[in-house]
Structure formats: C-alpha cells, structure tokens
C-alpha cells in the first residue's frame, strides 16, 4: 500500500527551484521535501514563497545534521528549532540519515557506522531521544558509503536491527542501495527483499556519479539511470506501493525534465498498482 501520510511522486525542494515551483500543481508533483536546517529562520521573499508552498502542497522534511550515529551529545537546541519548524509548516513526516556527521564540529558529510550490536543499541537510544523531543516518529534513511568500518553485521542486517530496537520507520533510498551494491559487491535485490515491509515509510531515488567502474558516488546531480529504475520496480513488487521522492541537488535541468522523471515514477507506481490489484 501507499504511505498513509503522502502518496505518489515527490520532489526535493532546493533553493534554485523555489521560484519555478510556485506555479506547480498536484498534477505535476504530489509532495515536496526539504532539509529543515536550510530553511529555519528564512524570512523575506523566500520565506513567503516557502509558506505559500507548504500551505498548498504536502511536505516532508529530511534532516542533514542530527548526527544520529555520532558520539557528540545530541543538539537539543537544533531539535527544538526543528520541532517548531515542523509544527509551524504542518510537515507530515521527518526523516534523518543513519550515519554520523559531527564530532567536535560539523563534518558536512555523512560518515558510515560500524555494523555491530553495540552500535545498534547506542544509535537506537539516540533515535528514541530524538522522538521524545520532537514528539513525533522519526524515519531513518540508509546511506551511501565508500568505506566499511569493522563490524560483525552486514548493512541490511544492521538497518533491520536499528529499526527493530528503536521501533522506528525506514526511508528506503533505492539509489543508495544500488550505489553500495556496486561499491561493496552485494546483491541489491536481496538487500531490499530482506527489509521489513511494515517499516518502510517512503522511498528516495536519485542520480549518481561514476567515479570509477566499481565506485559510484551518490551525487544527486544527474538523472536516475535504468538499473535504479528497475530496482525501484523491484521494490514496489516486493514491498508494495510507496510514495517516492526524486532528489536533485545541483546541475538542475529545466523543471519540465524533473517533472518527466516524476511522471515516470507515477507510471511505475500505476503498473505496480495494477499488479497488486490482480
């Protein structure tokens, strides 16, 4: 089934898209998603444009800097600011990365975690604290990576264990699974099939960069490629329809090209829906 809080195909809201999206309708995009850290305290014209969109379209938030996997204390001032932002804009869901991004200072990158039981317990406790402060569920996202740290679990097993221990939901990034499957030589379909359907809240897809033949970088700066589309189809077939968001962070094409990718997501969803109905 589709996610209960959003449906269809959504687009990540980035500053360069803000003006062009003022005229978009639900025919073109079903929902939008933004990083709250980039918008908290924004006023003036951009603040008014954001408010116009949040009053007209469903919104999700996808955080960048909670540092769920880090060792530095959680930033409660940031958490309180995020809560105010989510409440004031009527945001329907909030997600963050299952990674570390800070220690004594902000790293501005998403660092992988050791896949072991000790980290499962530690990260799950931090997720529970975040949920208590925000007074809402937290959705965690599997991340792309370019190095593996020592640990006794595989990535999918670690993700499943955190979801269970923290009793939270998953933002399944299909492109990240594909990227990691190439970088670390595992079966992307087996990874996705092993995840608990009941905990998958929604999905991400994006383009990436081929740094080398066996090294892919999750850049969000290119169109989605065919193997990722096929993996998205597999995800629908295995877990049922889920709202799906297209991420694009730079190298923005004309907005119509992004809408074409959203339309393709909808076609895949329609095809999967027909199969479900049979």
Tell me the sheet residues that pair with 134: none
Give the start-end residues of each E strand in 38-184.
Answer: 59-62, 94-97, 100-102, 106-111, 139-141, 169-173
User: Span 126-151, mean pLDDT?
Assistant: 92
Cα atoms in the 13 Å half-sphere on the side-chain side of 194: 16
In a domain, residue 39? The reply is: yes
pLDDT at 278: 43
Percent of the chain with pLDDT over 70: 94
∠ CA 26-35-7, rounded to 5°: 30
Quick check: helix, strand or coil at residue 254?
coil
Q: Is the pLDDT of residue 200 over 50?
A: yes
Percent of the chain with pLDDT over 90: 79
In a domain, residue 79? The reply is: yes
Q: Is the pLDDT of residue 238 over 90?
A: yes
Quick: pLDDT tens for 1-16.
Answer: 444 589 999 999 999 9
pLDDT at 102: 55
User: Span 147-152, mean pLDDT?
Assistant: 82
CATH of the domain at 266: 3.20.20.150
Q: Is the pLDDT of residue 267 over 80?
A: yes
Q: Is the pLDDT of residue 212 over 80?
A: no
pLDDT band at 149 (very low <50, low <70, confident <90, very high): confident
Quick: pLDDT tens for 61-98.
Answer: 999 989 999 999 999 999 999 999 999 999 999 999 99
pLDDT at 26: 81
As for how many domains the chain has, the answer is 1
Q: Is the pLDDT of residue 223 over 90?
A: yes
| Tokens of residue 150, six digits | 């020592």
In a domain, residue 3? The reply is: no
The mean pLDDT of the chain is: 92
pLDDT band at 224 (very low <50, low <70, confident <90, very high): very high
Lowest-confidence pick of 124-128, 268-272, 274-278: 274-278
Q: What's the domain range around 55?
A: 9-20+28-277
In a domain, residue 4? The reply is: no
Q: Is the pLDDT of residue 175 over 70?
A: yes
pLDDT at 277: 54
Quick: pLDDT tens for 58-70.
Answer: 999 999 989 999 9
CA–CA gap between residue 149 and residue 278 (Å, rounded): 44
Q: What is the 3 state secondary structure string of 154-223?
A: CHHHHHHHHHHHHCCEEEEEHHHHHHHHHHCCCCHHHHHHCCCHHHEEEEEEECCEEEECCEEECCCCCC
């Amino acid at each position: 089934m589709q996610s209960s809080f959003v449906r269809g195909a959504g687009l990540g809201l980035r500053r360069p898209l803000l003006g062009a999206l003022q005229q978009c309708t639900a025919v073109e995009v079903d929902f939008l998603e933004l990083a709250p850290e980039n918008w908290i305290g924004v006023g003036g014209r951009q603040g008014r444009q954001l408010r116009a969109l949040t009053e007209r379209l469903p919104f999700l938030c996808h955080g960048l800097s909670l540092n769920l996997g880090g060792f530095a204390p959680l930033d409660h001032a940031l958490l309180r600011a995020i809560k105010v932002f989510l409440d004031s804009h009527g945001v329907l869901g909030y997600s963050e990365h299952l990674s570390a991004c800070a220690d004594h200072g902000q790293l501005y990158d998403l660092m992988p975690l050791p896949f072991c039981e000790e980290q499962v317990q530690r990260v799950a406790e931090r997720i529970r604290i975040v949920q208590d402060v925000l007074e809402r569920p937290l959705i965690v996202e599997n991340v792309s990576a370019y190095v593996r740290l020592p640990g006794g679990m595989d990535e999918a097993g670690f993700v499943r264990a955190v979801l269970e221990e923290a009793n939270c939901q998953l933002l399944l990034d299909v492109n990240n699974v594909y990227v990691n499957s190439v970088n670390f030589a595992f079966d992307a379909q087996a990874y996705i099939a092993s995840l608990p359907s009941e905990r998958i809240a929604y999905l991400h897809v994006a383009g990436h960069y081929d740094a080398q033949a066996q090294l892919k970088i999750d850049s969000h700066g290119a169109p989605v490629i065919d193997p990722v589309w096929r993996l998205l189809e597999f995800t629908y077939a295995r877990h049922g329809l889920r709202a799906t968001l297209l991420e694009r962070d730079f190298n923005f094409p004309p907005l119509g090209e992004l809408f074409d990718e959203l339309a393709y997501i909808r076609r895949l969803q329609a095809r999967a829906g027909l199969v479900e109905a049979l």
